[in-house]
Chains A and B, each alone.
Chain A
């Protein structure tokens, strides 16, 4: 094991990281404290001080002051999670709240947290339980992180750490049982109760709610015992370890609510009796009941879903009518729509009949019906009258894509935008939801640019056509194969002659048609930063025109996007051509309309293109970036090492999903950082901008054959 560092050695690093010249932090004391630790522990703490310092020096200092004392009583995994969480809070809400999070750790009570080492972290269990709850029937519930476990009927909130038991497995099972119980509240009607009216009936509403929650937990546990017997076994095992037994006077409730017909009304009927009980059982897996959140979610949902369902039903009827052979005159009376819910054996399904004839509901209708059914326990008749013409404004009922420009006129920055993480190399961790990205369309400019370019490069275009046409036709006859469609006569004659001579006869006697089908999807990402102004911009546009001409010949699927941005809050991706769009006047006009915008922030653009490319079905996916230099952003750390590392990481992520990234760059002065930044990608540096239009197509041909 390496020797521990001395205080003096550590002091030097701490001075540098914490910039004590300006901040006057007294690092000497900290260095002395660290001196007593093993080298391993020292490295752990110093490493995190350095990483946090790249985010904020004060946070790093606060971490350093606390960490040595915490190390003996807190798991490293938790210390790490705490450090990352603090940085996340800083990213989102600033220094004050982050410092508060930092301080909370002082009240960390060892006895209360003795199981934390084996605790189930939200980040680890959320993806699994999210899919788990999706597999159960009913409304699709989201899993979110909060400070406690509760549900509002649309999402299930779980605390950051579930650590009631000394083994990780048991803690996970506890989380699973909690999720299942919260799911059951939505699925089996607990949330249909009007909690505020109910509370008003009792002198002590809190007491009434707690007892109702207990009654419902009894009922839902019995429900789970029937629906999910395996999970029920686990629940009983965990409860036996964590919770006191059911008070004897509650056992009658358990029996009454355990029948298969028991509904939420039965719990309500027993509430008066339960209210009088002095004791009220609580289970460690039941979470908490939040009437306000439930009511708010329900209020927001009801009208919207009613409108959505009625519009969808109208569409369904319209389709049905259109599909009928003989178009009938619009009937005098509205057609009789009936919906029969089948809620049995863990399945929830709906049979729709129209004037007695069955109608297959599409998926979106079925999901709406499910949601409505869960809110009412039936489908109320007024939900089944299809919407009349113009009764609803679809813009209000359905979520509309936001106008990307509207955000700068007052609405909130992140509304309707897509969020992307960014790699912070100092922290060695992603900054979550850091880049606020919007897609925009390049305003088309209908001018003579397209024609002029083709005229200017007439010779090149002809040459390109020939080259690319040769590429397209890749079918060839492979001779002398062991298998094939036809006999290779030359080979056969030779073989027979060999046989006559007494030599061994070859078995390669067939010709075979080799068909290499091109199956390539390529995305071009073009730098639209301000620095491309002038020559580069023109060369880029010309290059794109030539590329499109060539790609049309090949029949490869391709998309072209431009990127630019000002700070992480305004990352913009400009659509020039999507994968589905045809190359034509409109696309040509958009290429002509490409204008230099703001700065070069590349990470988000690469990540978004990776996502788009992965949605396209193709054997080979290529991502070509065209840029004029190093990443840069306005008054931001993105300039320099940070941007280079983030770009590198984004390229690595793309490569990891099976995409082949390729970079074409025009930055002649900075060859030093390129091999590192483009580590995952192959790249080429063009010295002369004017070469770009001619070279790009050539490069493309090379990398795809």
Chain B
């Protein structure tokens, strides 16, 4: 088994990731990149934020280092720490430091999930200083011009406690993402999963119905990602109703009545 090593070259994306622009987000991102302004991606889950980052990394030919933030993520997890090797201590860079050193794109996914003190370490990187102080090493690493910082957050479902601090959010250029329009979403689903246009159309219509349910018992409607999952199952020979049940209904809710209702919606379409 060949595990992926931490060599920055491995973070380069060779093949173009499929991405359908919704508006002018590609131009905006490129402009922000040239002007060295960090970027904040806002939007509901599964609407294409991570895919967009992969696409941009490919377009800009920079390595992409993604960190999925969780509520136990500490500053040392990002910056780096000493480890013990044999009888000695060895410094190991964290993902953020690696991205700064190699001039890559560091993408902090779901940043609000991280602990509040963790967010502060990105502040000096996110303004015109563009530096990463590493107190334990007594160094300040200056980011090369190619380095880019991007963070994402979903304003919809997280708790009020996990809002992004003003001091953090006001350092970023914000790109807002939402579910694509019906025609675009149909194209995305068809291209990604390989189902026919008619099936993709049904899936998109079904997603629309679940999004109508948002607020009346459903926290979030079906995302484009779930539709792609369902589409892939269908393309592999699963019947559409079963695919919708496993890939969409069960994924968005555990509530028995709601599950049944979503089931009835999908069986009405297919």
Contacts and interface: CB of A to CB of B under 8 A. Distances in A.
Interface residues of A, number: 34
A231 B267 contact: yes
B77 to A, nearest CB: 8
B257 to A, nearest CB: 4
B35 interface: no
Nearest to B270: A230
A486 B262 contact: no
B270 A617 contact: no
A134 B213 contact: yes
Interface in B256-270: 257-258, 260-262, 264-270
Q: Name, among A128, A130, A131, A487, the residue most crowded by chain B CB atoms within 10 Å (CB to CB).
A: A131
Contact of B265 (A132, A509, A513): A132
B217 interface: yes
A582 to B, nearest CB: 16
B269 A228 contact: yes
B212 A132 contact: no
B50 interface: no
A131 B160 contact: no
A485 B182 contact: no
Contacts of A127: 257, 261
B261 A131 contact: yes
B257 A486 contact: no
A131 B82 CA distance: 54
B115 interface: yes
Interface residues of B, number: 36
A486 B261 contact: no
A519 B213 contact: no
Contacts of A132: 261, 264-265
Given A134-B212, A230-B270, A345-B182, A128 B115 contact: no
A180 B205 contact: no
B161 to A, nearest CB: 6
B87 A496 contact: yes
Contact of B209 (A128, A136, A486): A136
A137 B212 contact: yes
B261 A346 contact: no
A560 to B, nearest CB: 21
Contacts of B182: 345, 347
Interface string B207-238: 01110110011000000000000000000000
B264 A176 contact: yes
A496 to B, nearest CB: 6
A347 B268 CA distance: 15
Contacts of B201: 345
Contact of A515 (B115, B159, B257): B115
Contacts of A128: 257, 260-261, 264
Contacts of B115: 515
A135 interface: yes
A228 B161 contact: no
Contacts of A694: none
B74 A230 contact: no
A499 interface: yes
Interface in B29-81: 74-76, 81
B241 interface: yes
A229 B75 CA distance: 54
B208 A180 contact: no
Contacts of A496: 87
Nearest to A496: B87
A423 B159 CA distance: 34
A485 B81 contact: yes
A484 B265 CA distance: 49
A137 B209 CA distance: 7
B140 interface: no
B93 to A, nearest CB: 15
A129 B209 CA distance: 13
B84 interface: yes
Contacts of A346: 205, 208
A485 B80 CA distance: 9
B217 to A, nearest CB: 6
B139 interface: no
A11 B266 CA distance: 55
Contacts of B2: none
Given A346-B205, A485-B76, A487-B89, A131 B258 contact: yes
Contacts of A513: 74
Closest 4 interchain pairs by CB? A131-B261, A231-B268, A135-B209, A617-B159
Given A135-B210, A140-B216, A176-B264, 7 more contacts: A128-B264, A135-B261, A136-B209, A486-B81, A487-B89, A496-B87, A515-B115
Interface of B: 74-76, 81-82, 84, 87, 89, 115, 136, 159-161, 182, 201, 205, 208-210, 212-213, 216-217, 241, 257-258, 260-262, 264-270
7 contacts: A132-B261, A137-B212, A228-B268, A346-B208, A515-B115, A617-B159, A617-B160
Interface of A: 127-132, 134-137, 140, 176, 180, 228-231, 234, 345-347, 484-487, 492, 495-496, 499, 509, 513, 515, 519, 617
